[in-house]
Chains A and B, each alone.
Chain A
Amino acid sequence: MRVQFKTSYDTDIRLFKDRYQLAWYAVLGATLIALPWLIDVFMLGEITNVLIFAIAGMGLMILVGQTGQASLGHAAFLAVGCYANVILQQRAGLPFVVAFPLAGLISGVLGALIALPMVRLHGIYLAIATLAMSVITEDIIIIAEPLTGGVGGLFAPDISLFGYVINRYGDPAAFYWFTLAVTLFCVWIYRNLLRSPLGRAFAAVRDSEVSAQAMGVNVPKTKAIAFGVSTFITGLSGAILGHYIGVFTPEAFNVLVSIQLLLMIVVGGLGTIHGAFFGALVIALLPTGIGMARDWLAANVGLTTTAIPGLETATFGVILIAFMLFEPMGLYGIWAKMRTYFELFPFYRQGMFVRQKSYLKTERMR
């Protein structure tokens, strides 16, 4: 087990705990950058998809995991980011480098504005309100046909970065690197939030609104900012998603996608950046994994499973129930336990991660 001696307050502030941790992340980073040379084009596309989901997951994680506000409407902000990005490029003639961040900002500002009346709702009521918002957004996109192409959808142009044109199929490696860069940016601002007063205010609102208020945290305003930051990141993810899928219709952002996003971060592990990535891996690779398992079954056991509709959804449902029952901390929980097991070997104990039940709560001001 490594024991860290802290000699300055900066130790608790900087991004990496120590050189050891920095080294591991450097290895991970190098592997990710070198990935186009290591795997084939199909898998690279899948990994790009994982990263896009991970960005959306981080966006939702800030809201659900960090601030404790449920949202069943985040697909709406994927849609806002996606449509805004393409419309700004095609209609307003803006270059991608301007349209892309602007799409994120539009999504973020819209999220914060929509949140203002909704932050007074709690738990299930907030979830329902965001769900309704998601449905309405889908309808608005269909109604605003002159701008959005209605049910026919829109074509996303190639990404043009300072004259360098990136096509998702023509140049998958460049598309992957671009997505990776945005992912790293989002991780960075997420980490920055966590180590600054606003991130702590988010946690305060999540754990006890009444005491957050007594500490001088303006609860409705903080929630609205959380919505804004969350939908900004989700909007960025949506903008990349548009370029990734090439052609998109309102169908691509229906309520099921919202639910999928929420399930994703729950399976990954609420309240951690790792969780967004683990969840994205599961969500994005599950269809591929099931397809592979299907082929294997057909070839080796002679079992044809193509006739079973909804197998994917059912598998995901089973995974989710299993996590709720056995590992509420999600994949991150499993990861943390494994890591602790090896770090403390052979002194790991069964009950190390069992949390003490909390005591009575003061009457909540709801």
Chain B
Amino acid sequence: MSLLSVRNVTMKFGGLVAVNDVSFDVEKGEVFALVGPNGAGKSTVFNLISRFYDPFEGEIVFDGENLLDHAPSDIAQLGIARTFQNIELFENATVLQNMLVGRHTHRTSNLLSELFFLPSVRRAEIAHRRAVEDAIDFLNLHAYRDQLIAGLPYGVRKVVEMGRAMAIGPKLLLLDEPASGLSMEETQDVAFWVEDIKKIRGITVLMVEHDMHLVASVSDRVMALADGKRLALGTPQEVQNDPEVIKAYIGAPDDEQEAA
């Protein structure tokens, strides 16, 4: 059974159909990429999986659970972590604090025990810290641990956001344009990390990305979207050579347009 299954999902904003009857399955252990021109509905698909939007039609099943039965704040608990296209970190907190928020779903203490900081809370804190240090080691964030996000360069923020998502300990990681705004070297780092996340951590990755080199190098399967509709689904090579996809990206040759 696939880990994530999106079935005939339609999303409308007023008269605009952002996602039109889209279906796909993400298998356990693969890297699945969503590509498509701007406004194709890729981020909307992400926001639907995160439950920020209620779909107009269709259903989303994750690991046997119908996601539509769950509130947005329960999604992380189920094992879905995500990053944001424009980076949504907690600006006035340190890198460490940001990543510790990622452990929120593993919180075992309640209000009273935390107000008095009972020994159990201290033990839990150290356990959370270990888990976060693990993510820090993985992403080489040691140098930034105690720095405020507000003073960090863009590239580092992107990595911290990925680290925070990793700290959740997810089964499925949603990466919304992990390489946007990054330099060549940083993009290459992202490619290695995505590979490692899949191979070493065994986390399934669903990502939206515009950088075709990155998509081609890390993803097992690619789905192309345009105007909310599914154009093609297959290996990166298949999708790149799909005539529909080429048409959506660079347009049809003149003679073909005349014929149409």
Contact = CB atoms under 8 A, between A and B. Distances in A.
Contact of B84 (A197, A199, A204, A362): A362
A207 B76 contact: no
B154 A215 contact: no
A360 B90 CA distance: 13
Contact of B117 (A195, A208, A355): A195
A192 B115 contact: yes
Given A13-B129, A193-B115, A196-B109, 19 more contacts: A10-B122, A195-B125, A197-B107, A197-B109, A200-B100, A208-B91, A211-B89, A211-B90, A215-B76, A217-B73, A217-B104, A229-B111, A355-B150, A355-B151, A359-B87, A359-B154, A361-B86, A362-B86, A362-B88
Contacts of B97: 200, 203
A210 B84 CA distance: 10
Interface in A199-252: 199-201, 203-204, 206-208, 210-219, 225, 229
A207 B168 contact: no
Interface of A: 9-10, 12-13, 189, 192-193, 195-201, 203-204, 206-208, 210-219, 225, 229, 271, 355-356, 358-362, 365
Contacts of B246: none
A203 B93 CA distance: 7
B125 A215 contact: no
Interface string B68-111: 00011111110001101111111111001100111111010101
B126 interface: yes
A216 B73 CA distance: 4
B114 interface: yes
Contact of B88 (A193, A219, A271, A361): A361
A12 B96 contact: yes
A208 B111 contact: no
Contact of A203 (B52, B90, B125): B90
B50 interface: yes
A219 B73 contact: yes
A217 B117 contact: no
A225 B90 contact: no
A94 B76 CA distance: 46
B75 A216 contact: yes
A214 B87 CA distance: 13
Nearest to A232: B115
6 contacts: A9-B129, A189-B116, A215-B164, A355-B150, A355-B151, A356-B150
B50 A214 contact: yes
Contact of A216 (B84, B130, B168): B168
Contacts of B84: 210-211, 214, 362
Contacts of A203: 90, 92-93, 97, 101
B141 interface: no
Contacts of B122: 10, 13
A361 B102 CA distance: 19
A271 to B, nearest CB: 7
Nearest to A204: B101
Contacts of A359: 86-87, 154, 157
Contacts of B85: 362
A13 B109 CA distance: 16
Interface residues of B, number: 53
B182 interface: no
B248 interface: no
Nearest to B113: A196
Interface string B118-145: 0001101110111001000000000000
Nearest to B128: A197
Interface in B142-159: 148, 150-152, 154, 157
Given A211-B90, A215-B105, A217-B101, A192 B73 contact: no
B98 to A, nearest CB: 8
A218 B151 contact: no
B150 A192 contact: no
B87 A215 contact: no
B121 A196 contact: yes
A192 B114 contact: yes
Contacts of A271: 92
A219 B104 CA distance: 12
Nearest to B103: A197
Nearest to B130: A9
Given A12-B129, A196-B125, A197-B109, A215 B92 contact: no
Contacts of A362: 84-86, 88
A210 B104 contact: no
Contact of A211 (B88, B116, B151): B88
A215 B126 contact: no
Residue among A12, A214, A356 with max Cβ neighbours from chain B (10 Å):
A214
Nearest to A355: B150
A362 B52 CA distance: 12
A206 B130 CA distance: 25
Contact of A360 (B86, B101, B109, B151): B86
Nearest to A198: B114
A192 B105 contact: no
Contacts of A201: 101, 104
A214 B126 CA distance: 23
Contacts of A198: 111, 114
* Pairs of residues from A and B, 4 with the lowest C-beta to C-beta distance, nearest first: A216-B76, A211-B88, A207-B90, A196-B114
Contacts of B157: 359
